[in-house]
Amino acid sequence: MKIAFLNDVAYEYAIGSPKAVGGTERDIWVLSRALAVAGWEVVVGVCGAIAIGQRRMIDGVEYVGINPGNPIVVWNRFLASERPDWLFWEGASHWWGILVELAKRHAARTVFHTAFDTDVSPRNALVRRSSWWPLYAWGLERSDRILVQHGGQFDLLSSRWKSKSEVLPKVCQLPPAMIPHSARSSYIAWVAMLRTPKRPDLLVEIARKAPHLKFVVCGGLTAHRSQGDTTARAAESLKQLPNVDYRGRVDPEEAAGVIENAALLLCTSDQEGFPNTFVQAWSHGTPVVTLRVDPDNIIKERRLGLVTGPVDATVERVQQLMFDTQERQAMAIRARQYIVDEHSAEVVVKKFDAATRHSIQ
């Protein structure tokens, strides 16, 4: 079976570029590699970073340079030349309605994967061209399969789409070893782009109320999902706090190192999908402390960290956990087992295979 993706930044991740950023793009990179290892023929269309027509094989995935011209014309040519069995797309976009029809024209089946919780509610899903939501909804209606990140998203799907939908966890490779918490640096990591839904303002408030705790913050400014200059103000505040090491935008390798060595990973977001940083943290045995985001209550039920609620309660509980090395180590062991059970490549590819086979039937 052959599957096609269209994503430029996935290629940046594949070559280890410091320009690589974005959870959706990282998802595509990791999943495409896992499918290739499992025997799928995988091709990714890339605009700009590869010369038109050039092909480059990395980790079993073939990246193909396509024309950065009119997307409809370019994508139509790509599908005509590659002839995939499946076309994969992640994240809400008005383009999905058009892509589905192009795929059908070339006898390719389509699979859509959510990236954010609002993706399952078409009227509220689009950040750009929000009034074009009917085109995105049409794409979901015409998709052969819809894959969601957790059960909460499935519950919010329109009932007419549930029969062709399933939960697909993120792929995560378990590192061979874990740094014991007794040997870790005593800091709290916060890793994300400074977008409004990530609530960097709450991070500033927490850091101010816990001046004796150290925070390492990785995340650059972005206009995507951001309002006014609130995130810029948060960045300036972080730079001024003596207990915050604000590094701005960093490359993926540095961000992973910050998470791996941290005592805790802090999430202040109001909304997410299933954060990549969560599975990265758990794979390294780093517990997650989140104010509200807890997909399917995994953190509470599996005791992989803490769900803390308001800022004051967060400060109090973080302080307690920072001084309880044994509890953090116990959370770390449970977290790594959770990754093995739910997010290993073998587990996720098996679910993907089952979902696509079901569609063929």
Walk me through the domains of the chain, giving residue ranges and CATH numbers: 2-171+345-360 (3.40.50.2000), 181-342 (3.40.50.2000)
In the prediction, which pLDDT does 226 show?
60
In the prediction, which pLDDT does 18 show?
86
Please state the rounded mean pLDDT for residues 63-70: 93
pLDDT tens figures, 16-48: 998 888 889 999 999 999 999 999 999 999 998
- Cβ burial of 266 (10 Å; 0-12, 13-18, 19+) is buried
Structure tokens at 132: 């074009």
Residue in 286, 273, 279, 271 with CA at minimum distance from that of residue 331 = 286
Please state the rounded mean pLDDT for residues 112-136: 95
In the prediction, which pLDDT does 184 show?
96
Q: What are phi and psi of 265, to 5 degrees?
A: -110, 130
Candidate from 162-176, 212-226, 272-286, 294-308 with smallest mean pLDDT: 212-226
Using 50, 70 and 90 to split pLDDT, how confident is the model at 223?
low
| Residue 233 or 305, more confident | 305
b/e sequence 296-317, b meaning 16+ C-beta within 10 Å: bebbeebebbbbbeebeebbee
Q: What are phi and psi of 118, to 5 degrees?
A: -70, -10
In the prediction, which pLDDT does 300 show?
97
| Residue 260 or 234, more confident | 260
Q: How far apart are CA 155 and CA 165, in angstroms?
A: 11
